């Protein structure tokens, strides 16, 4: 890791991570407030979030000591308990935004309570499939960090630093285990996402440089020059192509927002000609319905068979890919590329300029 940091110091990319890179800057919040007042669809999205925030005011935080989701079948009590705890993510996210839009201290106080509870109780294990669920609480910390009380800031910073440290530790272990694909498969896409979010939220330039190097390596090792991905071929499922590109899109947005002058990491190409932009273009015909794909038929993963045997919807071999499952990918790509909104509108059969909250965030961040 130290070698990577030293290499990065002399690279041509310079980061400016002061302020809210993961969440929204002050000027962006002002744009959001204006949009809420000016557009009916944005207002409806906002009212849904405000309702969640109001309901969360009387809720008690339910932090998981250990997030247990990866590799566990649906219906397992451990997974059920984890998903109940993870309902806190949407609550704290809504509380944070409600405070910033309304300036009502009751939302800040409750968001602080949720942040502190998770920071004190959760023990990161370095499992990126589990840690990827922390994105909304990291967003909220980044959004509120200048207004949180020092004990909350201290606790959250220590916790998030441990999240990143554990992710780097398991990456190094995966690299050492040459038979494991976890250093470059979808696990690593989610790992880089978690590290980049923590780095930007904590304003840790060295850690963000590390995430950038890992991002570039992931584009090279996971994505293909035709736009497909390692996980698509390994699992014979577009489900896993989406699961690869979604976290990488989040990373690309963070890196792009943090660089001075701004560099577009969405269009970055590896020496093999791989890029995130190509992988979204490869996905688009399946999203529009122009192409179809029977999922899981030739998956090399024993866990996929177990999920099918467990009767989990969508995992039966031969099930056609549901284009709606790629809406998150297209919405995230809209931040970088015109034309994504129209593709989303056609698939979702809507004329709304803001068919999901992500399009609202894209608008205010541009």
* Distant-in-sequence, close-in-space partners of 110: CB < 8 Å, separation ≥ 6: 56, 57, 95
The CA distances from residue 208 to 15, 54, 60, 215, 343, in Å, are 8, 35, 33, 10, 32
Buried b (16+ CB within 10 A) or exposed e, 42-60: beebbeebbebbeebeeee
Going by pLDDT thresholds of 50, 70 and 90, the confidence category of residue 12 is: low
Contact 328, 315 (CB under 8 A): no
pLDDT at position 5, please? 44
Angle formed at CA 331 by CA 111 and CA 67, multiple of 5 degrees:
45
pLDDT at 7: 43
Mean pLDDT is lowest, of 10-19, 207-216, 218-227, for 10-19
Average pLDDT over every residue of 58-81: 97
User: 1: closest CA among 189, 220, 210, 216?
Assistant: 210
Average pLDDT over residues 141-166: 98
Of 284, 219, 208, nearest in space to 249 by CA: 219
| Chain segment 322-360, per-residue pLDDT in tens | 999 999 999 999 999 999 999 999 999 999 999 999 999
Confidence (pTM): 0.96
Give the whole-angstrom CA distance, residue 163 versus residue 363. Answer: 30
DSSP 13-74: --B---S-SSS--HHHHHHHHHHHHH-HHHHHHHHHHHHHHHHHTTPPP---SS---TT--T
pLDDT(74) > 90: yes
Q: In whole angstroms, what is the distance from residue 360 CA to residue 357 CA?
A: 5
Partnered with residue 259 across adjacent β-strands are: 15
| pLDDT at residue 4 greater than cutoff 60 | no
d(CA 250, CA 194): 10
Taking a C-beta distance cutoff of 8 angstroms, is the pair 131, 67 a contact? yes
Q: What is the DSSP string of 115-140?
A: HHHHHHH----S-HHHHGGGHHHHHH
Q: Is residue 261 reached through a cis peptide bond, with omega within 30 degrees of 0 on the bond before it? A: yes
Q: Residue 179's pLDDT band (boundaries 50, 70, 90)?
A: confident
Contact 263, 13 (CB under 8 A): yes
Q: How far is CA 105 from the centre of its chain?
A: 28
Residues 246-294: tens digit of each pLDDT: 999 999 999 999 998 889 999 999 999 999 999 999 999 999 999 999 9
Please, what are the domains in the chain?
21-183 (1.50.10.100)
Tell me the Ramachandran region of residue 352: left when phi exceeds 0, alpha when psi lies from -120 to 50, beta otherwise. Answer: beta
How many residues are there in the chain? 366
- Measured CA to CA, the distance from residue 4 to residue 35 in angstroms comes to 42
Predicted pLDDT of residue 160: 98
Q: In which band, very low, low, confident or very high, does the pLDDT at 180 lie, cut at 50, 70 and 90?
A: confident
Q: Are 188 and 128 in contact (CB under 8 A)?
A: yes
Q: What mean pLDDT, rounded, does the chain reach?
A: 95
CA distance 23 to 14: 20
Q: If you ran DSSP here, which 8-state letter would residue 236 be given?
A: T
Separation between Cα atoms, residue 43 and residue 39, nearest integer Å: 6
Longest CA pairwise span in the chain (Å): 55
Higher-confidence residue: 10 or 113? 113
Phi and psi, residue 223, nearest 5°: -85, 155
What pLDDT, on the 0 to 100 scale, is given for residue 201? 98
């Amino acid at each position: 890791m130290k070698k990577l940091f030293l290499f990065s110091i002399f690279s041509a990319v310079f980061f400016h991570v002061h302020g809210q890179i993961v969440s929204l800057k002050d000027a962006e919040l002002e744009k959001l407030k204006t949009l809420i007042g000016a557009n009916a669809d944005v207002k409806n999205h906002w009212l849904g979030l405000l309702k969640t925030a109001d309901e969360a005011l009387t809720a008690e935080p339910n932090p998981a000591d250990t997030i247990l989701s990866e590799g566990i079948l649906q219906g397992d009590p451990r997974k059920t308990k984890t998903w109940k705890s993870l309902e806190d993510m949407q609550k704290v996210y809504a509380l944070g935004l409600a405070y910033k839009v309304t300036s009502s201290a009751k939302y800040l106080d409750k968001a602080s309570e949720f942040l502190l509870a998770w920071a004190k109780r959760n023990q990161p294990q370095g499992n990126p499939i589990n840690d990827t669920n922390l994105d909304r609480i990291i967003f909220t910390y980044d959004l509120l960090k200048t207004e949180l009380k020092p004990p909350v800031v201290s606790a959250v910073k220590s916790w998030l630093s441990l999240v990143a440290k554990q992710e780097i530790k398991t990456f190094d272990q995966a690299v050492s285990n040459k038979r494991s694909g976890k250093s470059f498969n979808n696990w690593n896409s989610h790992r880089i996402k978690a590290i980049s979010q923590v780095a930007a939220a904590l304003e840790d330039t060295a850690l963000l440089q590390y995430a950038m190097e890992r991002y570039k390596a992931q584009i090279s090792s996971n994505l293909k020059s035709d736009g497909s991905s390692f996980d698509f071929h390994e699992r014979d499922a577009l489900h896993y192509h989406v699961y690869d590109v979604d976290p990488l899109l989040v990373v690309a947005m963070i890196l792009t927002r943090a660089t001075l002058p701004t560099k577009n990491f969405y269009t970055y190409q590896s020496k093999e000609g791989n890029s995130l932009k190509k992988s979204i273009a490869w996905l688009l015909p399946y999203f529009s319905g122009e192409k179809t794909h029977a999922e899981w038929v030739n998956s090399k993963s024993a866990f996929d068979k177990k999920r099918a045997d467990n009767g989990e919807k969508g995992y039966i071999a031969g099930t056609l890919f549901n284009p709606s499952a790629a809406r998150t990918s297209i919405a995230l790509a809209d931040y970088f590329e015109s034309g994504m909104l129209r593709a989303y509108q056609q698939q979702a059969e809507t004329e709304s300029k803001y068919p999901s909250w992500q399009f609202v965030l894209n608008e205010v961040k541009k």
